[in-house]
Structure formats: structure tokens, C-alpha cells
Amino acid sequence: MTTCPRCGTAFEGRFCIACGTDTQPPAFLCARCGTSFAGFACPACGLPLGWTPAPPPAGSGVRAFGSVVWILSMVSFLILVAVNLAVLAYSAILVVQGSFAGPRPIDLYLLAPFPVGRSYDVPADIFLAYFGLLVAAVVASHVWPAIRDRTATRRALVRPLDELRPRLEARSAIVATAQMFLAMLSFQVLVVLVFAAAGANPVAPDFPGDVPEWYPYYALVNASVYEELVTRWLLIGVPLVLGALALRRHELANAAAHGRAPIPAWRHLFGGTVTRDSPASVVLLGAVLAFFSAVVFGLAHVPSWGWWKFVPTFVAGLGLGYLFLRAGLVATILFHFTNNYMAAALLLTTESAAAQILLGLLIFLVIILGLVFFAWYLMYSAELVNHFAVAWGIRRPAPVWAAAAPIPAVYPMPPPVAYVRPGATPPPYGSGFVPFQCPRCGWRQARYADGRFTCLRCGHSA
């Protein structure tokens, strides 16, 4: 016997025969909102009984960890960029002040493949105008991509942690430059370690002892811009414009096939115009020019650094050529300046042990993180080769097998029916049966005995 908590009537079963009060407490907790209920679905949010969340996709933990490493790498790169810009602002004052005393050399040369040219000692006003153009180009290489690609950069930073690949392939010059810089810096350190382990002694060249104190800061800024002009711009951009003019009909046909406006030929002069969807002739021409400029770039460093410098500089030249084709000239200047002015920051902080330690820790962190990106670009290069081989009909695509349909984790429940609460008196004879639905599991088949229904699915009696 059960006593109704509302009116005190004694009865058997679930519902009070006097007032109809349901005396059975809710049997379930909603997995979504936490509401207690009894029946087929949650009355608050409608979540069906027996619903379970889908398991996370395989590898989501690895991708989340990779995203954390990616975010840490971007933050480290941005800190290094901020340090370099602060050093540039301070060293620019030293260059301006020191240039009035002289000497004021401006080196003009071409790469054939070794540097061929001469140095000119110019008046102070010409030197300062030239130095101002260099600083303006460096500042523009930071500001322009930050503004132009701000949406792509922001989206890459705020993506969910399991979306690692969209971060790595973000259409942002800042992101692409950061990743490539970290990868190339780590590779250069690995090459130095290999040469040192083999008994060689790779060393960096020193500036002549008779140069003024401010000259290294000027030379590092000049190399960041001038070397990009005589390698990426002159050896990739200019021939790419001429090639695009000769292959104009391919560009027009490709643009019509992809439903977009054709790219003007002159835009190839500053890079950032070659993608996977570009005509095959343009992609091949860009790849050949990038390889050729990388060879010239590597050989240009041999006279002052030695032959050990060719391998890391050649590989860096490949990365810079890729950046030029994908993100433009501003990205290559940003890369080159960030690499060069690390040395300027170390040179400027020579007298401060604390600053040297902090800067050394930052560079060490960047080198360690760069190993991840170097491995990524190796895999990405193989994917690009396979993509173009399939797209151009060189090889057949790998067969894709249809996956088997997944087995549902929970068997479907029967559709709910209207539950009729029994009244105080039984229905009259011949009025039909009262539809049954188990209040615990929602099943509609039961066994009736001794005035009670027992669910045939879960065994609950009501």
C-alpha cells in the first residue's frame, strides 16, 4: 500500500485514486540540461531518453596539443618581432647620428651568381634618404600584411583547438611568414650542429674593424630589403610577369574554368599570386624560378661565409621563394628582417647579461618550436607534389573506399504516445483499453497482473 503525500489516501499503484498525484519520483537526469524526469524525453529541452554524446574524433587530442604549440609559436614570433622593431627604432638613431661623420657606403650589386658590383661613398643627405627608404620598406612589411590579412590572422588564432590544419594553412602572410621563419631557423641550427659534429667549424663573418659602430645595424637593414629585391623580385617577380604575358591565354582559360576574374600580369611582379588553382604553366614557371633564385641566393653567401652556408641558405631561399609566390614581397622582407635583426638585438645587448639571457631563451624556444614546422613543411611539400601530379594527369588518384555505415550506439526508441492518467474510478465496461507507456523507459508492451502493469522491457511496475 502507498499513502498519497498530497491527500493521505491509501492506495496501490503509482497514481493516487483520489487526487491523481504521481507518487513515483523522476527516474532520470537529462544528459544535456540536468533536469530530473520520467518518461521518453526531457520535458525541459526535449532530449530523447538514452541519448549519449558522440565520442570525440580520433586524434583530436594530438590536434589540440598541436594547436597549443602553434599558438605558443605565434606568440613567440610576435614577441621576437616586437623586440626587433624596438631595436630598429633605437639603432636608426645611431645610424642617423653616425652618418654625419662618415663614411657612408651604399653597396649596389647584382648576383651572377656571386655578388658583382661596387660600393659608393655618398653625401649624408643621399645616404639618409636611402636609409629612410629601407626603414620604410621594413615597416611596411610589418604593417601592410597585418592590416590586409587581419581577418585571416584573427580566424587562425581563435579557431577551436582541434582545428590544427586550418591554422597551418591560414591565408595570412603573417602566419605563413612566422611558420616559415621558425622552420628555416631550426634547420639552419641543425646544419650548424651537423657540421660541428663532423669536425668543421662554421663561423659567421665579422665586420671589418675600421667600420663605424653604427654600420652593422645599417648593413643588416640593407640586406633585409636589398637582397630580396635582387633575388626574389628580380629573379622571380620580373620573369614571372614576362611569363604570365606570354601565357596569358592559359590564365584566361583557368579564370573562366574557376569562375573568377583573371589575375593581371603586372601583379606577379610583387608576388602573392600563385596558388594551387593557378594554371599549370604558371605554377611550373614559378617553381623553376623559385628554385633558381634559391641556388643564386645560396651561392651569393659563399664568398663571405664559406661553402657550409650554401645548404641552409639554399633551403631558406626555397622557403623565401615559396613565400614570395604565396604571400608576396612584403612577406619575404619580413622574414629576412626578422632573421637579420636577431643578430642586431644580440649585438645591441652585449653589455647586459640579463638581456642576453632573456633574448637567448626566446631564441632557444623559437628554435625548438621551429622543428615542428620544419616537419610540417616536409609533409606539406610531399602533399603539394602529389596534388599537382594528380591534377595534371601525371598519376592516377588513389582509390577511395566507401566506409561502412556506423552502428548506432543506442537502439531507436518507439515514438511517444499520449499517456492517459487513470481517474479515480475505472472506466466503464466496454469503453476500450487505456494505452500503456512505461514511465521509466517509454516502452509500450507490458504484462498485467494483480492490478499492476509490468513493463516487458525494463521490468518496472506501475
pLDDT, residue 372, reads 95
Lowest mean pLDDT of 75-79, 128-132, 445-449, name the range.
445-449
The per-type count for the chain, helices as H runs and strands as E runs, is: 13, 8
Q: Which of 41-50, 115-124, 410-419 is predicted with the least confidence, judged by mean pLDDT?
A: 410-419
Which pLDDT does position 29 carry in this prediction?
75
Give 15's strand partners. Answer: 22
Residue 445 has pLDDT above 80, yes or no: no
- Write down the pLDDT at residue 277: 84
pLDDT at 417 over 60: no
| For residue 27, pLDDT beyond 80 | no
pLDDT in tens, 320-376: 999 999 999 999 999 999 999 999 999 999 999 999 999 999 999 999 999 999 999
Tell me the percentage of the chain whose pLDDT exceeds 70. 86
- Answer yes or no: is pLDDT of 432 > 50: no
3-state secondary structure of 90: helix
**Direct distance between the N- and C-terminal alpha carbons of the chain, in angstroms, rounded to an integer:** 13
Q: What is the pTM of this model?
A: 0.75
Provide the pLDDT for residue 53.
Answer: 64
Judging by beta carbons within 10 Å of its beta carbon (0-12, 13-18, 19+), is residue 138 exposed, middle or buried?
buried
Whole-angstrom Cα distance, residue 438 to residue 453? Answer: 9
In the block, which residue shows the cell 491509501? 10
* Of 156-165, 180-189, 247-256, minimum mean pLDDT range: 247-256
Q: What is the pLDDT, as a whole number, of residue 395?
A: 83
Length of the chain: 462
Q: How confident is the model at residue 103 (pLDDT cuts 50, 70, 90)?
A: confident
Residue 118 DSSP label: E
Which one, of 317, 96, 352, 296, lies nearest residue 188 by Cα?
317
Least confident of 188-202, 349-363, 426-440: 426-440
Structure confidence at residue 409 (pLDDT): 47
Q: How many CB atoms lie within 10 A of CB 415?
A: 8
Residue 405 has pLDDT above 60, yes or no: no
Least confident of 117-121, 252-256, 279-283, 308-312: 252-256
- Whether the pLDDT of residue 430 is over 50: the answer is no
* DSSP per-residue letters across 340-379: HHHHHHHHHTTT-HHHHHHHHHHHHHHHHHHHHHHHHHHH
Average pLDDT for 371-393: 92
In angstroms, the CA 36 to CA 43 distance is 9
DSSP state of 269: G
Taking a C-beta distance cutoff of 8 angstroms, is the pair 315, 378 a contact? no
What's the gap between Cα 164 and its chain centre? 6
| Domain edges within the chain | 61-391
pLDDT band at 410 (very low <50, low <70, confident <90, very high): very low
- In terms of pLDDT, which residue wins out, 341 or 39? 341
What percentage of the chain reaches a pLDDT higher than 90? 55
Mean pLDDT of the chain: 85
pLDDT at 187: 96
Residues 419 and 40 sit within 8 Å (Cβ to Cβ): no
Cis, bond preceding 113 (omega within 30 deg of 0): yes
pLDDT at 433 over 70: no
| 394/14: higher pLDDT | 394
Q: How far is CA 425 from the centre of its chain?
A: 70
